[in-house]
Amino acid sequence: MSAGNSASNRGASRGKQPTLAQLRAFAAVAEYLHFRDAAAAIGMSQPALSGAVSALEDTLGVQLLERTTRKVLLSAAGERLAVRTKAVLDAVGELMEEAEAVRAPFTGVLRLGVIPTVAPYLLPTVLWLIHERYPELDLQVHEEQTASLLDGLSGGRLDLLLLAVPLGMPGVTELPLFDEDFVLVAPRDHWLAGRSDIPREALRELDLLLLDEGHCLRDQALDICREAGRTSEGAGRSPSSEGGGGRRAGGSAVTTTAAGLSTLVQLVAGGLGVTLLPRTALRVEASRNEYLATGYFAEPAPSRRIALAMRTGAARQEEFTAFADALREAMRPLPVWPAE
């Protein structure tokens, strides 16, 4: 081959790409060293097989086979490139298998973000559902505050969120699961302890303990207080003189905050004030503490809505919607009611 032809072939090889059919034809010939047997193995006619190998040689600019009337041999270049060809075809096969796995619902990794005021109380149900119904799903749980979860969802770090709504964020679709009441947790000798008809207006005068900034439950509690006519989160007194027995925290408004609900209820048990808990948290956080008592609001009780949230138009939208349906059903035994 002349230098000019060699340069021409190199130029041609840069402008073309081998097809998978050509690679499969060459791999079959390299394995069987016989055109008829190779053609039968991959379901191709012998002329088509021969043409595919010739086209591959033209594309690559090298001779892959030495053809004789009696047998087929691999050239030196063919020996080397047969190994690479097999590796390429194996990689394509793995790609197709991975695509098939991705197409199958409820397989692979699911990166679920959960807010701290939901995670300890709902994750047992989520984990049970996945274990029983979706055993091929690789669940990865991330407990973070709402703002961080939404950043993770929009940036692709997280796939699905379990949190309180509404979010009011463009590009995020909410899949409502249930609504749940808030209850009042107070010291056992508080004037509201054990009542089942607490008016919201009572929140105007209570020393209310709240979570730290950044927790959506804090914002929800403040919204409830504002709806009740309370003008400041730190205003008010504990009216121990009205109904007797209640302890005040130093006779002034309490502005103590906590990082989690477990700490809040311990502060309540110590007489520093009262707090609001979602119903799903009550059994875990307050039921076994002899220094605490629960009060329930008169209807309509203040409540919050819990939902799954996903990116609008997510590739797994149908899967996530079906997951929400299954999770809504699994949560029926909880002290909640399905969201409308």
- At 204, which CATH number? 3.40.190.10
Residue 255: its pLDDT value, please? 53
Separation between Cα atoms, residue 301 and residue 293, nearest integer Å: 18
In one-letter notation, the amino acid at residue 340 is: E
SS3 state of residue 117: coil
Domain that holds residue 332: 108-177+305-338
Residue 53 and residue 23 share a domain: yes
Distances (CA, A) of 107 to 54, 102, 126, 241: 42, 7, 16, 60
Of 68, 103, 138, the one marking the end of a domain is: 103
In this structure, the dihedral spanned by the alpha carbons of residues 258, 263, 269 and 274, taken in order and rounded to 10 degrees, is: 40
Residue 172 and residue 315 share a domain: yes
In one-letter notation, the amino acid at residue 271 is: G
β pairing state of 160-165 and 137-143:
unpaired
Residue 154: its pLDDT value, please? 92
Instruction: Report how many domains make up the chain.
Output: 3
Distances (CA, A) of 278 to 164, 275, 281, 303: 11, 10, 6, 8
Residue 299 and residue 186 share a domain: yes
SS3 state of residue 27: helix
Rg (CA), the chain: 34
SS3 state of residue 113: strand
Mark the ranges of the chain whose per-residue pLDDT is less than 70: 1-15, 69, 101-102, 231-256
Widest pairwise Cα distance in the chain = 112
Q: What is the pTM of this model?
A: 0.68
DSSP H stretches of helix in the chain: 3-15, 20-32, 35-42, 46-60, 76-103, 119-133, 146-154, 216-227, 261-269, 279-285, 317-330
Residue 7: its pLDDT value, please? 43
